[in-house]
Amino acid sequence: MKEQLSEQLIEVGDVFEHSFSFDQEQINLFAEVSGDNNPIHLDSNYAAQTVFKKPIIHGFLGGSVFSKVLGTLFPGEGTIYLKQDMRFTRPMYVGSTYQAVLEVVEVNREKSTALLKTRILDVETGKSTIEGEALVMNKKRL
């Protein structure tokens, strides 16, 4: 299922994929909103002297794609976010293309909840940058 909005019930095994990237302006805005102005995200001279070599995306900004997908696309409207675990496995860079992959691993129809495996992959290398799980409630689609 790719970028497809639906009102169907969500089932175990359903997978939703969503491609995205962030530019430096978005990083700067996130730094302003969150108060996380760590120079590793904002200052290319500072970043050049670190193991990352260039500015990296805040983990919380990268991971916010899960919030976007779960809250607006899959399951979408009406979703209540109950849990999100994230392991930041590799750095994410400004301008690179990433793919969020959300796979439904458990559904509880009585509680209208789903547990999803949530990953972000670097499209170029196929390697993960964030791995974890989400638990959501949605009374229409679960």
Number of Cβ within a 10 Å radius of residue 111: 12
Question: Residue 109 Cβ, how far from a copy of itself at the closest point, in Å?
Answer: 19
Best CA proximity match to 43, nearest among 32, 55, 35 = 55
Complex with a copy of itself: residue 79 or 121, whichever CB lies closer: 79
Separation of alpha carbons 102 and 13, rounded Å: 10
Best CA proximity match to 69, nearest among 124, 136, 7 = 136
Report 76-105 residues binding a copy of itself (CB under 8 A). 77, 79, 81-88
Separation of alpha carbons 25 and 1, rounded Å: 30
Q: Exactly one of 21, 24, 26, 96 binds a copy of itself (CB under 8 A); which one?
A: 26
Question: Residue 113 Cβ, how far from a copy of itself at the closest point, in Å?
Answer: 13
Binding site residues, a copy of itself, CB under 8 A: 20, 26, 29-30, 32-40, 58-61, 63-68, 71-72, 77, 79, 81-88, 132
